[in-house]
A and B are shown apart, each in its own frame.
Chain A
Amino acid sequence: MEFSPESKAGRLQENIHMIKVDGLTKRYARTVAVDDISFFVDKGRIVGFLGPNGAGKTTTMRILTCFLPPTAGQVEVAGFDVLKQPLEVKKRIGYLPESPPLYPEMEVVEYLTFVARLKGIPRSAVRQRVDEAIEKCALGDVRKTLQSKLSKGYRQRVGLAQALLHNPDVLILDEPTAGLDPKQIIETRQLIKQLAGEHTIILSTHILPEVEQTCQQVIIINKGKLVATDSVDNLTHRLRGSEAVAVEVEGRDGALDPAQVRKRLEQVPGVSRVLDRASDGRRASFEVESLEGKAIRAEIARAVVEAGWNLLELRPVAFSLEEIFLQLTASEDEETAGGGEK
């Protein structure tokens, strides 16, 4: 990494926040796209930027990359303010917009060489950097292909290569897996994971499993407002608060009355509610939720056995991020389906 742009004002220590957003607001003529958002991102982390369409993800990313100026609030990337030192910020970010910014009339190598020069890589290092990026993003087969002839998957990868070229501290990827087929999605995710550590990565998506699989931290926004920001693990825990347990019960002599079982389960101390899942006369399954901070599995097991039923299954249910997301974004307004992303 002989190419690390020298910085006087803001050389950061290892433990400082790589991205600092404080009270960020972006107003357009009639709408507020981003409303008073604050968050931090530590060095070397992969952060998922999550929200339904039109939530303000792209706007926030465009502000981070100095493409748009914020209306209010402070945004620092790698210790530099996006308004005061945009050139310093731009040197340290790699950005993959929603649609990869390719020139259809250029070949892949030609394009990457152009971008490398544009990003300020010294002429002597350009070739090596381009080759590295091509290798990282597995573009060897299309080196000499015109970009207008590239398939969607390759276009996305060239876009990624373009963002990586100058070894930026921060990578900002706007929906990097949108429009790819499942195999390409997996490959792209693996590539992104490999890049973490060296780079701090922010990726936006509205696909939840993607965040669960790739990201360490998640920032959820909805309608321009920050809904939650935490590590993926913490968020799942925090939102769970209470325990949810799946229970399946079988009657010992064949017949079983689900209502009776349900009643018995509701009497178990610490249970807040019982949901019917399925029953077929012999067996019945339920989902039992506990009150906050109560462990109920042992009590349930005892209650079922003492009542003379067979306990077939007793398993804690984890909230998927999807449910959390819906819970968070729906709590303000049931209709989360916003308009087109801008």
Chain B
Amino acid sequence: MKNIWVIYCKELKSYFASPIAYLLMAAFALIFGYFFYAATAIFVTRGLEMQMMGRGYPMDMNEWIVRPLLMNVSVIALFLVPMLTMRLFAEEKRSGTIELLMTSPVRDLEIILGKWLAAETMLAAILGFSALNLTFLFIHGKPDWRPILVGYLGLLLQGGGLLAVGAFISTTTRNQIIAGGATFAACLLLWVLDWVTAYETATWAKVVAYLSVVTHFEPFAKGVLDTKDVVFYLSVIFFGLFLTARSMESLRWRA
């Protein structure tokens, strides 16, 4: 446990030692700010239109602003993940510091968990900037906070799964760019897997679509906390970390 903490702190520090953490935070804040502005503007315009047409029932902020925003963020997360994970193991392999970690009295699993938790924390910190914008909703309106919380939980679970996959990919190479590129491809693929249901209705298509990370996110965006989606994400996390552990073990046999 202590070892996980030691690795975790080191990883977090190294995110902030390079510009990457600040860059991602700034980029995300900017993009999310734009999305937020657009979503709110649309909400306001539509509200006015409705009123003028005499159908002035109160529009739901959660449905009109928060839900589409959360869906957007879940897509942005696909882009963030490769940048957070590409360094994790590839850099240690390139610089040789992996030898230090692997010859220290620390278990492989402790190294992996420390690194993954640091990446997850970093992702949470980046996504946290969106909360800044959402506070405006609370100042000027009365959105329900519970679905929002569920949405963020979903983002973290989805991100966690992708980060685990990214961590695995990072162990397979000593080149950060390759790790980042491959992770990005994997994230995109996992995102669009549900397209198969659009042209195919066989069972295999349903299975493939089930693996799509975004379909499992939709309920979270709506504020629905469904066990089967939570289990899905947890199993992705578990599977990704399992592969990472196997891959690290194989490093010892091959390297």
Contacts and interface: CB of A to CB of B under 8 A. Distances in A.
Interface of A: 28, 62, 65-69, 87, 90-91, 93, 95, 97-99, 101-106, 114-115, 117-120, 162
B6 A118 contact: yes
Nearest to B107: A87
B248 to A, nearest CB: 12
Interface residues of B, number: 26
A105 B102 contact: no
A67 B102 contact: yes
Contact of B104 (A102, A106, A118): A118
B105 A119 contact: yes
B130 to A, nearest CB: 28
B227 interface: no
Contacts of B2: 117
Contacts of B235: none
A65 B252 CA distance: 12
Contacts of A99: 95-96
B14 A105 contact: yes
Contact of A101 (B96, B105, B254): B96
B101 A93 contact: no
Interface in B61-113: 95-107
Contacts of A104: 95
B206 interface: no
A97 B6 contact: no
B253 interface: yes
Nearest to A66: B103
A105 B104 contact: no
A95 B96 CA distance: 12
Nearest to A71: B253
Given A101-B99, A104-B95, 10 more contacts: A65-B99, A65-B103, A67-B103, A103-B10, A105-B18, A114-B6, A118-B7, A118-B100, A118-B104, A118-B106
A103 B104 contact: no
Contacts of B106: 90, 118
A300 B13 CA distance: 74
B252 A67 contact: yes
Interchain residue pairs A-B with the least CB separation, the first 7:
A105-B17, A101-B100, A90-B105, A101-B97, A65-B103, A117-B6, A91-B105
A69 B10 contact: no
27 contacts: A28-B254, A65-B103, A66-B102, A67-B252, A68-B252, A68-B253, A68-B255, A69-B252, A87-B107, A90-B104, A90-B105, A90-B106, A93-B103, A95-B99, A95-B100, A95-B103, A97-B96, A97-B99, A101-B99, A105-B18, A115-B104, A118-B104, A118-B106, A119-B104, A119-B105, A120-B105, A162-B100
A100 to B, nearest CB: 8
Contacts of A90: 103-106
B3 interface: yes
Interface in B208-255: 252-255
Contacts of B97: 101-103
A84 to B, nearest CB: 15
A103 B14 contact: yes
A98 B96 CA distance: 9
Nearest to B16: A105
A114 B10 contact: yes
Interface in B103-142: 103-107
B98 to A, nearest CB: 8
Contacts of B105: 87, 90-91, 119-120
Contacts of A91: 105
A99 B96 CA distance: 7
